[in-house]
């Protein structure tokens, strides 16, 4: 009986280690894909964009919800300056085939003649389809400066 418990425990530990190493490799791929999508938008490379984004996906930004098909029509109007940056990355796993990458994007550019907000807090939902990590949903929220802390409370009546 002890051997069976030990064997089951060993299998569970091995499976957990394998899953963690698979997730670590997947996270590297997701981060690389996020960079590749941004580079593809900067260069207006529709072929690369279509390899990384699901056709049925959507994006949400301050202008609203846009299908991938409609967003791709706007790519020629996008002007991203080189030098943009992604930092503060965090990957949260939904299940083994779905992960959300949240990050801060900083850069310069314009979309349809309007300046791109920067920085933004962004997130992309990545799904594993046919062995490839592809973006299914993307959102951007303009980053705000936190308000100043409240003044310290007075300890006693004024003038004392």
pLDDT (tens digit per residue) in 15-40: 444 456 799 999 999 999 999 999 99
Residue 130 lies in a domain: yes
> How much is the pLDDT for 144?
86
Q: 45 φ, ψ to 5°?
A: -90, 85
> How much is the pLDDT for 17?
47
> How much is the pLDDT for 14?
43
Residue 126 lies in a domain: yes
β-strands 98-106, 120-129: how paired?
Answer: antiparallel
Does residue 69 have a pLDDT over 90?
A: yes
Enumerate long-range contacts of 25-28, CB under 8 Å, 24 or more apart.
Answer: 26/99, 26/128, 26/133, 27/91, 27/99
> How much is the pLDDT for 73?
95
Domain that holds residue 102: 2-142
Q: Look up the CATH number of the domain holding residue 12.
A: 3.10.450.50
> 67 and 58 in contact (C-beta within 8 Å)?
yes
Residue 154 lies in a domain: no
> How much is the pLDDT for 2?
64
pTM above 0.85, yes or no: no
For range 111-140, the mean pLDDT: 96
Reading phi first (left if > 0) and then psi (alpha if -120 to 50, else beta), residue 145 is in: beta
Residue 148 lies in a domain: no
> How much is the pLDDT for 145?
84
Residue 150 lies in a domain: no
Q: Which residues contact 23 (CB under 8 A, 6 or more apart)?
A: 93, 96
Handedness of CA 123, 24, 29, 132 (dihedral sign): negative
Residue 51 lies in a domain: yes
The pLDDT tens digits of the residues spanning 78-115 come to: 999 999 999 999 999 999 999 999 999 999 999 989 99
Based on the structure, what is the number of domains in the chain? 1
């Amino acid at each position: 009986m002890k051997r069976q418990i030990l064997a089951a425990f060993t299998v569970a530990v091995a499976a957990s280690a394998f899953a963690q190493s698979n997730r670590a490799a997947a996270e590297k791929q997701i981060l690389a894909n996020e960079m590749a999508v941004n580079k593809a938008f900067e260069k207006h490379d529709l072929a690369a964009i279509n390899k990384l984004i699901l056709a049925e996906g959507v994006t949400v930004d301050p202008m609203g919800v846009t299908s991938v098909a409609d967003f791709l029509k706007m790519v020629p109007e996008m002007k991203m300056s080189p030098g943009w940056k992604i930092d503060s990355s965090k990957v949260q796993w939904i299940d083994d085939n779905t992960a959300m990458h949240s990050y801060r994007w900083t850069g310069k550019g314009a979309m349809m003649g309007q300046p791109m907000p920067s920085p933004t807090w962004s997130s992309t939902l990545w799904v594993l389809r046919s062995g490839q990590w592809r973006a299914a949903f993307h959102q951007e929220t303009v980053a705000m400066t936190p308000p100043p802390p409240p003044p310290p409370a007075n300890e006693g009546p004024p003038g004392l």
